[in-house]
């Protein structure tokens, strides 16, 4: 792996994301593609679906990486294809609100580029065990894995900067662990994702200037999921993203299945004086990590986001320890 190529690609992803975010936010606001920030008493309108800029930034960075380092070209192309397909599905969901079955089929489409020969590693690392052999099982497991990550990312994207901040931590962790273990594709493409997230976070953090929409959350989920499959680091992603995944699982169980947002009648949280968020006491309210954190007392949006990102840092550290310290022969 050429270090200069990774640095160039990461820088390109960050610059492209920054420029595209500014351009898209302005254009979308002009044509009325906005969403209401319901967690602020003033209910400001914010440009929606700007996550397309993040998706394009990651794809541009991956394309430059594949051009600069031909050993990474096939996986860079697969990464770009997965992110591109995910962003299109997310955009369609933003516009027409896909049902649960359509979203499940969409997740399978996202995984298709990863099933091409030589793309996903057939020997994933398992904590405490080491390398496993899953050649034929990958055909069934990767679509299911991508679906879990994409839908978890989509469901936790409810507060300013929460998903993007968490994804930046997870991507940086996969980049560092991948580099240490000699897993070039995962390290390089995770670095590209982390750089794009850092640039986009400036605009999406509290108070958000832009909303990602499903186009952004789907693309981020696809980026995290696909990068982890290239060198068998799916377990690291699953451990690092535990707050996100657990929140998604609690949501699905509490609402009895995967549903669109329009099908959920009661909100998970309520807004109190001073723009403080508290868990909705209504027994019909969905249960996610956000109301669980705000269950004992109302908290500010900034505080809740900081606590969940801190949990992601802890989970990422545990994932790193499980692979680098507790797993035998963590080598190429």
Stated pTM of the model: 0.94
Place of tokens 């996969």: 174
Dmax (CA) for the chain in angstroms is 56
Tens digit of pLDDT at every position of the chain (332 positions): 689 999 999 999 999 999 999 999 999 999 999 999 999 988 999 999 999 999 999 999 999 999 999 999 999 999 999 999 999 999 999 999 888 778 778 888 999 999 998 899 988 888 888 888 877 777 889 999 999 999 999 999 999 999 999 999 999 999 999 999 999 999 999 999 999 999 999 999 999 999 999 999 999 999 999 999 999 999 999 999 999 999 999 988 888 777 666 667 788 999 998 899 999 999 888 899 999 999 989 999 999 999 999 999 999 999 999 988 887 765 44
Structure tokens at 259: 């549903």
- Sort 267 into a burial class: Cβ within 10 Å, 0-12 / 13-18 / 19+: middle
Pairing, β 276-279 against β 299-300: antiparallel
CB within 8 A of 99, min separation 6: which ones? 260
Residue 103: CB atoms within 10 Å: 21
């Amino acid at each position: 792996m050429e270090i200069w190529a990774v640095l160039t690609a990461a820088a390109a992803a960050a610059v492209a994301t920054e420029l595209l975010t500014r351009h898209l936010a302005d254009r979308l606001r002009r044509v009325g593609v906005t969403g209401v920030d319901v967690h602020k008493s003033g209910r400001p309108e914010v440009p929606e679906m700007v996550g397309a800029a993040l998706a394009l930034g990651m794809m541009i960075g991956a394309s430059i990486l594949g051009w600069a380092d031909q050993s990474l070209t096939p996986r860079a192309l697969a990464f770009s294809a997965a992110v591109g397909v995910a962003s299109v599905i997310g955009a369609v969901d933003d516009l027409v609100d896909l049902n649960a079955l359509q979203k499940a089929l969409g997740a399978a489409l996202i995984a298709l580029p990863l099933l091409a020969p030589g793309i996903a590693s057939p020997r994933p690392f398992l904590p405490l065990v080491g390398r496993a052999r899953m050649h034929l099982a990958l055909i069934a497991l990767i679509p299911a894995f991508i679906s879990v990550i994409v839908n978890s990312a989509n469901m936790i994207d409810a507060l300013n900067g929460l998903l993007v901040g968490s994804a930046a931590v997870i991507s940086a962790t996969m980049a560092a662990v991948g580099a240490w273990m000699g897993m070039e594709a995962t390290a390089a493409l995770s670095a590209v994702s982390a750089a794009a997230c850092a640039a986009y976070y400036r605009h999406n953090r509290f108070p958000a200037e832009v909303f990602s929409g499903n186009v952004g959350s789907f693309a981020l989920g696809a980026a995290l999921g696909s990068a982890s499959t290239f060198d068998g680091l799916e377990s690291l992603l699953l451990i690092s993203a535990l707050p996100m995944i657990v929140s998604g699982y609690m949501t699905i169980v509490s609402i009895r299945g995967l549903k669109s947002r329009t099908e959920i009648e009661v909100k998970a949280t309520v807004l109190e004086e001073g723009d403080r968020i508290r868990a909705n006491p209504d027994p019909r309210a969905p249960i996610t990590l956000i109301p669980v954190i705000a269950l004992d007392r109302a908290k500010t949006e900034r505080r809740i986001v900081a606590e969940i990102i801190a949990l992601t840092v802890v989970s990422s550290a545990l994932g790193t320890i499980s692979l680098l310290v507790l797993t035998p022969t963590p080598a190429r």
